[in-house]
Structure formats: C-alpha cells, structure tokens
Structure 1
Amino acid sequence: MSLRRSILLGLIGLAGTAPAAHAQSTAEWQAQQVAAEAKADRIMVEANQQKGLLSQYMTMRQAYAGDDSPAFRMIFGQYIGWYLSFLGDYPLAVQSFSIAEPARPGDNASPLDGGYAARPALDEIPALASNYQIVMLNEAHNVAMTRSLTVALLSRLYAQGFRYFAAETLSQKDAQLQTRGYPIDDSGFYTQEPVYAEMVRTALKLGYKVIAYEATSTITRPDQREAEQARHIYEQVFKEDPHARLVINAGYEHIVKAGVYLGGESMAEHLHRLTDAPILAIDQTAMYPRPSSQNNHPYYTAVMKQLHPDAPIVFVDAKDKPWSLRSAYDANVFFPPEKLERGRPTWLTLWGLRQPHWVSGDGCRGHYACLVEARYSNEGPDAIPADRMLLQQTPMTVSISGVEAYSSTQGVPSGVLYLRPGSYQISFIVGGEKVLHKDTITVPPQP
C-alpha cells in the first residue's frame, strides 16, 4: 500500500459519505470511491513522469477537468489540493477539498457560554505544554494555515525544554537532513509545501533533533500505520532518552487520545502505551475558516462574530484548563478569517516571523503560468523554497469550485512573497523547471 493510499484511508473516513443528491447505496458510493482512487493513482503515475511541480500540476489539472463525477472530484480534489499548496496557491488549495465541521452530538458547550477566556495561542500553548512530555499538533494537509502556527510555536516550545521534533511523511531515506539543515525534494511528501518545509527548517535551525517516523512496511490493515509510526517514534526518541520532550506534527485524527480510529487506535494512543508519557493534544483542524461559511462549526461562527481575533486563539478557564470541542483533544485552536493581499493570504507572515515582499513578474519574460520561487541564499539549489507563488496573465482555464488563481489581465502580473529578513535568490520558472531569470534580493529586518 502506498503512502498516498494510507493517507487517504483516514481522509475518506472524514469526508466519504455519499452525496445526498444521488439516490445510491453506501456500497455503490464506496465502489465509486475505489474506482476513483484507482484512476487518481494512474493519473499520478503520469503526472510524476513530468519534470517539475508546475508540469505535474498541469497534467493533474487537465485530468481533473475531464471528470466531474462526485467520487472522482472528492478523491482527486485532495491530490489537487496538496499540489496547489506545494505551488503556493493556498486559497485554491483549500477550495479543492474541504471537510465541513458541523455540530455533533457530544460536542462540549461553547467556550462563550461557560467562563472561558480567549488567549493568544502563541502564548498559551507553550504555557500549557510546561507540564507535558509530548505535544501533538495536527493539521489539515491541504490547508497550510493549520501548520502556520506550529512554525511560530517551535521557538517557544524549545525554550520550554523540548528538543525533539517529529513530522508526518518525512522520509527516513534522507539521512543528511539533520546535517544539511534544510529539506529537499527527497526529504518527504508534505515537505514539498513551503510552509511545511519552513517548519522543518525552523526546527533544525533551533537545534531540535528532527525525527522521520513514517511507516515503511506494507500496510495490510487500516490502523497498522498508526502502530508503526508510534513504534518508530519510541525507538528513535524514548528508547534511548525516556525523559525526552517531543513536539509532533501530524494529520487530522492521528493525535486523538481516545476513541476508535480506523477500526483500531490512533498513533497517539499507541505512543502513550509505549511511553506512558503525558500528551498534550492540540486540534487545529476543526476551527479554521471553510471556503463556505455554512460549513464552519457554529461555535467558530459565533466566536469570530463576537471576538474578531486577528491571530490564532485558544480558550482557558479561570484555572487555566483549556477548552476543547471534543474530549479526544485537550484544546482547539481558532484561526481568524483569511485575509488576502494580491491573492495571497496574510497568515503567510507566520504570525510575525515573515513580511510581504513585492515581486514583479518581469522575470517571467511574458511566459505564463510562471512559478516564482524564493530560496535562502545560504542554501543549495535543491532546497525547498521559503515561499512560492504562481503568476498568470489570464485566468485559469479550469477553475476549482468556482475560484481562480490570482492573475492580472492587464500588464505584467505581480505578487507578494512572504519572507524572513535575509538574502534570497528568486527564480522565475516555466514548464518543466525551465528557469527564465534569477534575481538576488535582501529582505531588511522589520522595523
């Protein structure tokens, strides 16, 4: 079973109910999903034969446009979303695949109703972590906003004594990651997305020992991946350092501390059994803004309407006990509504670590679609960029969920990259990694 297949097992469980508009049985819908998944895998084999992310994505986009069946759009929409995030088109990545977050039986009462106060997540999560050996933060894989806070938290958690950082789908084959100091294409799967790469890069620069814990054996049952991930973490961290303090980034429900997951137990439950270490589980996938506001949890809507936060928040009571939507987690992060500048979300500042830097599309030499990449000058040309954006002169011929990538229909397209202070090499790329132009820029320290 491929890594992509094992990732989809959990996601289909979250989003795979049959469309109400279609009079079909659950069995029929599941059969359609299986067929759609097989087709998606065939398309990805073809796409991966193309050189460069941009060419791969164009192959995928053409295939997406050719099949509007609900099952295929649901399955392949996830693939499209991952690659759009790799290209830096974050709004369209979110539109391509979205999981609604309705109210459910058993949800705890709203934090607005019971003596809870909103606190900045960047301050409160490290305070909560002071009594824990393991901190787990989850993410929605095509919604890079849900990993943005983790990047900013790493320095705060390092100050608390955390020295290990583990990230989902990092490859154990990249034995040079720790010494090299930055991720490359072969470092993993989600590391191809610049914010994820920045998360790993930040951990390395701070001095964390970075752990690749992905399952490597053939998966024969749904929760086998969970058990193997936990075992890899135990063997690389706690077997030799039983008092280690560890930060883990994982997807969705891999971090739930209780309940049945994929017919068995989550990675967090397996890890707790192996270590008996206290775990702080922070959910970042329930309370972020969905493309359609009707798919937001009612509590999210109420909190945003009443508090209007401009940064991620969590809720705690008078005894500093955090609020969570469901008992499987210890706390929920509420992300503010997304704001765009030239089509790019302002959360790409990573909550104060980076700043916008305007870039003209002149380097595209009139060729579009054009991928603009910014790499740290002290890293090699194989490094995953600090940021990417896709420039186009005309709207996309294929839109996803009615939303198009940012483009300008007059003159030369331009946009903003989000970068830390420092020196960068900017590359303008078309087609199969053809570099049309390079610039070197310096981003000054923030005033």
Structure 2
Amino acid sequence: MKPFYFTLVLMLAAPLAAEELSKEDYLKEINKAFSRFYEATNGKTLSARIEALEELSVEYKDNQAVLDVLLQERGFAFSFMGNHQQALYAFDQRQRNSEELNTAVKELEMRDAVKAISQAADSYQVVMINEAHHVTQHRVLTYRLLKRLWDKGFRYLALEGLAQDAEDKLSKSYVHETSGYFTNEPLFANLVLYARQLGFQLVSYDYGSDIGTGTEARERSAVKNLREKVFDNEPDAKMVIHVGYSHINEDGWLAHYLKEALQLDPLTVNQTDFTERSHKRHEPESYTWLIENHDFDTPVVLTDNEGAFWSPTPEEYDVTVVWPRTEYSLNRPNWARLDQELIPVNLDWCELNFPCAVEVYRMGEEEEVPADRIIITESSTPIGIFISESSQLVKVTDSQGNLINTVTVPLKESD
C-alpha cells in the first residue's frame, strides 16, 4: 500500500450546513480540521487516511459543515481503495436535500447509453460527460464511448482530473502518480491509458485561475486554457470533456462559458442526478421507480416517446444517464472489469497483515498508478482482482506501505 500524498478536494457546492455559517467561519472550521488531517496522514497509506478520517468524524460529529467534508474525503478514499459500496455509504451520510419522484419519468423510454450518445455525437463538436468523483463507475461510460467517438472524428480528450500540462509528460505504458489527483484511482488511470492507445491527445485545463476567484473565474480560466491549447489553432477540433458534477451545466458553469466563447452547443451528459446509493432508502425516488419498473443491465439514457433525449432541467444539460444497481462478482463491481479477467485473491499473499493492499501493475515502476487496487481488511472475505495480458504483476503491501509479496499471476489458458 503506497503512501498517498494529501490533496484536499472540496466540492464547489458547499454542504448544506455551511449555510448556517459565514463563509469565513466555514473555511476556518474546514481548515482547522484538515490541518490536523494533513499532519496525521500526509505521505501515509489509504488505510491510514481512512483511520484518521474516522477519528476526526467522531470528533466533529456535531459540526455538520466539517463532518460533510470529512465524509466527502472518506468517499474519495474508499473509491481509491476499490471499495465502491463504502464510497457510496460515506456520501450517503452527508446532508442532502430530499429527492422526490419526478412523475415525468413514468412516461419515458430507455435506450442504450453508449449507442445513443455516440449516435447523437454526429451533430456535435464537443461532448461533455460528468462524474461524481467518488463513483468510479462514471469513468466507465467515457471509457466505453471513446472508441466510437474516435471513429467519428473526435481527437481530443480533456480531463478535469489532469494536473497542469500533465499531458506533456504522460508515458505510453503507464500513468505516473504526479499526473493528477483522481488519475491515481485505477479506473481513471485505465481511462487515460486507453485514450492514448486509441490516439487521443489528452488536454489538461482545470488548474486554477489567474483572473480571480469563484466559479465564474475558474470556468473562464478553463475555457481560456482549452482555447489556447486546442481551439485557437484548430477551431473545428472535436473534443470529449470529462468533468466533475456541475461543470456540464449550460447555465453558469463550464458548458455555458465554453458555449459563449466558442459559439458552439456542447452535448452535455449527466450521470449524477439519478444514481445508485449505498441503500435503497438513500436513492432518489425517480431512480428507484426506474429501477423497479424497467429491466436493464447496462447504462441507459432517458428519452421521450419520440426518441428525443430527456432531462429534468433541459436548460442545464441535455442527456440523463441511468446506471442499473451494481452487481458484484468476488465482491468487485461487474462494471469495473473493463474486459479484464477476474481472479480470486490468494489471502496468503497478505501473510496475516490486515489491512493489506493488493495492487496490479503493468510495468511495476516505482511511481506507477496500478491497473487495479483493492484493500483487504480481513482474512475471511473472498475478493477478486482484475488482470490482463498487459497487467499481471501483483504487489502486496501492509498498512504502512511495506512490501510483503510480489507475484506474477498468469491468465487462464484459452480453450
């Protein structure tokens, strides 16, 4: 389990409890909590981060503003650990507005999301797809779309998760830990590598503003970076932009300022509104209704009876994507497989050191982001890892990051 270097990622939308505090007091409380978190976990492993976050969550249980951000960070950490269920659960403990049934969904139809979005892309120069940063599943949709969009002339993939100018230093064989924050999560790293294998030119764009503070300054700076890196020299370039949360919003966020600056209308795809949660009781009512009244096993888009994309807020985004509830094999989400082979972890690899990290590598370089990662907390739980022809080297480390075992795992022989 490698050390993880601390990076605080705050949602742009402040927790609801923060409304009861002044902005200054809110930030003061957040900084106080995370100064201590930083001291306790910087340079330590994911397991150490979770332990520190749990201790702080108990201490700040009566301070909802701080607790919400701590829970957000727990969700991110669990997603990096390969624990989808716990990532969802952490976010479900945060304060949320109630999400009542939108009765319009009862009249809607469903189409396969990958097919429908790739077909619609014929009419667009820019396709924007969002994710919830703790839901690694959302990276899979972009992964599945890339080949189809490449075949339609899309040549650029802009990623909110890339560090400034990281595209200039990307290896063709693996993703380096310094490439970004969320790119340290294996599914995101797989997305980056697959895009490069297809031939996409990656673009970083979201790395601070020199024109002020706040959402507008951030978004205008992002558009400026995209123009300078791509559109000023190639005005007809076709681009996929993978963003977090509300940046696809055509009413005051990145999509809006991109539309304004380039005089184009992006296709905006939302995966974060009608989503799976850790338990049915936390789900948006519209999501629960769709799951219980339709039978589907791949991500779908919602359409009206004439086949047009439906959005509950069409002034904000164009396309609503709904994923089915996650099904698991060997305690791993089936959607995370990415055409790889799932094999059971030999718990003897951990040599009774729990929690232990089991990570699968392509090259085995010192600062390489693994192709798969899972943290095993107890010896009684069967769990699997994903391997492929290009990633079969397994490294096992303890909670302090010390190497316990290195194993090369063969693929099953083809019949």
Residue 367 of structure 2 is aligned with which of 352, 363, 382?
382
Counterpart position of 2:326: 338
Residue 76 of structure 1 is aligned with which of 57, 70, 81?
70
Q: How many residues align?
A: 405
Counterpart position of 2:10: 8
User: How much has 1:423 moved relative to structure 2?
Assistant: 4.0
SS in 2 for 1:287: coil
Per the alignment, do residues 419 and 158 of structure 1 end up closer, same or farther by CA in structure 2, a change over 3 Å counting? Answer: farther
2:162 matched to 1:174? no
SS in 2 for 1:112: helix
Q: Which amino acid aligns with 2:104?
A: S
Per the alignment, do residues 35 and 140 of structure 1 end up closer, same or farther by CA in structure 2, a change over 3 Å counting? Answer: same
Counterpart Cα distance in 1 of 2:263 and 2:37: 40
2:136 matched to 1:144? yes
SS in 1 for 2:34: helix
Contact 1:139 1:147 in 2 (8 A): yes
User: How much has 1:40 moved relative to structure 2?
Assistant: 3.4
Output one character per residue of 1:189-244: Cα deviation in whole Å (capped at 9) or x when no partner: 11111111111111111110000111334652332111111111121111111111
Output one character per residue of 1:258-281: Cα deviation in whole Å (capped at 9) or x when no partner: 2xxxxxx21111111221123000
Per the alignment, do residues 256 and 83 of structure 1 end up closer, same or farther by CA in structure 2, a change over 3 Å counting? Answer: same
Counterpart Cα distance in 2 of 1:422 and 1:47: 36
Q: Which amino acid aligns with 1:185?
A: E
Output one character per residue of 1:331-390: Cα deviation in whole Å (capped at 9) or x when no partner: 11111012233433222124xx3342211121111111101101124x634221111111
User: How much has 1:299 moved relative to structure 2?
Assistant: 2.2
Contact 1:194 1:387 in 2 (8 A): yes
User: How much has 1:31 moved relative to structure 2?
Assistant: 7.0
Counterpart Cα distance in 2 of 1:39 and 1:77: 16
**RMSD across aligned positions (CA):** 2.7
Counterpart Cα distance in 1 of 2:220 and 2:395: 42
SS in 1 for 2:409: strand
Counterpart position of 1:291: 278
Counterpart position of 1:17: 16
Per the alignment, do residues 9 and 340 of structure 1 end up closer, same or farther by CA in structure 2, a change over 3 Å counting? Answer: closer
Instruction: Write out aligned runs for 1:221-370 (5 A).
Output: 221-258=214-251, 265-317=252-304, 319-327=306-314, 328-350=316-338, 353-370=339-356
User: How much has 1:312 moved relative to structure 2?
Assistant: 0.6
2:358 matched to 1:372? yes
User: How much has 1:67 moved relative to structure 2?
Assistant: 3.0
Contact 2:344 2:382 in 1 (8 A): yes
Percentage of pairs with the same residue? 26
SS in 1 for 2:53: helix
User: How much has 1:329 moved relative to structure 2?
Assistant: 0.9
User: How much has 1:421 moved relative to structure 2?
Assistant: 4.6
Residue 432 of structure 1 is aligned with which of 393, 400, 403?
400
Alignment gaps of 5+ in structure 1? 20-25, 259-264, 394-406
Counterpart Cα distance in 1 of 2:121 and 2:165: 31
Counterpart position of 1:401: none
Counterpart Cα distance in 1 of 2:328 and 2:290: 21
Contact 1:18 1:29 in 2 (8 A): no
Contact 2:215 2:253 in 1 (8 A): no
Counterpart Cα distance in 2 of 1:361 and 1:56: 23
Per the alignment, do residues 305 and 385 of structure 1 end up closer, same or farther by CA in structure 2, a change over 3 Å counting? Answer: same
Q: Which amino acid aligns with 1:221?
A: G
TM-score (norm 2): 0.89
User: How much has 1:320 moved relative to structure 2?
Assistant: 3.6
Contact 1:77 1:96 in 2 (8 A): yes
SS in 1 for 2:36: helix
Counterpart Cα distance in 1 of 2:204 and 2:413: 33
Contact 2:165 2:203 in 1 (8 A): no
SS in 2 for 1:50: coil
Per the alignment, do residues 103 and 49 of structure 1 end up closer, same or farther by CA in structure 2, a change over 3 Å counting? Answer: closer
User: How much has 1:84 moved relative to structure 2?
Assistant: 1.4
SS in 1 for 2:56: helix
Counterpart Cα distance in 2 of 1:42 and 1:244: 43
Counterpart Cα distance in 2 of 1:414 and 1:370: 14
2:158 matched to 1:158? no
Counterpart Cα distance in 1 of 2:232 and 2:414: 43
Counterpart Cα distance in 1 of 2:414 and 2:242: 29
Counterpart Cα distance in 2 of 1:368 and 1:338: 26
